[in-house]
Amino acid sequence: MPGRRLTSDDRQRIAVGLAQGRNFAEIAGDLARPTSTVSREVARNGGPGRYRAELAQLATVRRARRRAPVPGRETPVAPAGPDPDARIALVTDLTTVLIDTGLPRTAARVLACLFTAETGSATTAELTEQLRISPATVSLAVGLLEQHGLIRRSRDGRSRRHRYFLDEDAGVRSAVVSVRANQRLADTVLRGADILGDGTAAGARLAAAGRFLEQLGDTILRFAEQHRLSTRSALVLDRGDPATARTRPRVGDG
């Protein structure tokens, strides 16, 4: 059932699926689980290229032991909002697909953080802490994103620090160069909207970006098909029209 925890056998099947090059949705379908369950499992255990079923099982056992309640101590109430593990997995997935669009890894990580932040913004200090990288590395990444028009900077009203904001057209400007990568990005963003919830600013932002990217992918496919058909028709007409054939330059004509 979808509600039960992953078993050792489930993790073995995930590892096999990844080795076969299958995506999270296909693996989740075989396990009768939500795609987010598989993506979180893989993200917290090394990512698609480093996932090992045995190590993932051991890590899960260790986490369960650490979380075991201490007798006599009250269990803290879980904070409201998206599951922190789900958010981490989402940032990882977004980073992966943004890298596929051609962004360098660090720039992709920064952009993924801004996409999933409730305010759509962050300071250098916040990005440094969240990504565990140096301020200089953050500076290089945001400089590249600014150059591409994906983010903008402004003074934080509460301090003298710069705060980086997603550009209003970030979803448009970050459109991928291939239809396949575009559709993967759309799927991940829309899944993120479901994870974060429509009632949150981040969820609404991701939903709007996801819908746009889906439409963009459909438009590219339709245009490609129209171009193919129009090109084929033009070739047929060109070859069948004697007047056109006579006026068409031949190889070697001056």
- Specify the pLDDT at position 27: 93
pLDDT one-digit tens code per residue, 77-124: 444 456 677 778 888 888 888 887 778 899 999 999 998 888 889 999
Handedness of CA 31, 35, 41, 42 (dihedral sign): positive
Assess contact for 128 and 135: CB atoms under 8 A: yes
Pairing of β 121-123 and β 151-155: unpaired
Count of other CB atoms within 10 angstroms of residue 124: 18
From CA 178, how far away is CA 66, in angstroms rounded?
Answer: 44
Strand partners, 163: 123, 154
Q: Which tokens belong to 72?
A: 């006599």
pTM across the whole model: 0.44
- Residue 119, phi then psi, degrees to nearest 5: -90, -10
- Specify the pLDDT at position 78: 44
Assess contact for 173 and 150: CB atoms under 8 A: yes
- Residue 246, phi then psi, degrees to nearest 5: -70, -35
From CA 138, how far away is CA 157, in angstroms rounded?
Answer: 21
C-alpha angle 190-205-122 in degrees, rounded to nearest 5: 120
- Specify the pLDDT at position 176: 39
> Which residues of the chain have a pLDDT value below 50?
1-2, 75-80, 172, 175-177, 241-254
Contacts (Cβ under 8 Å, ≥6 apart) of 148: 173, 174
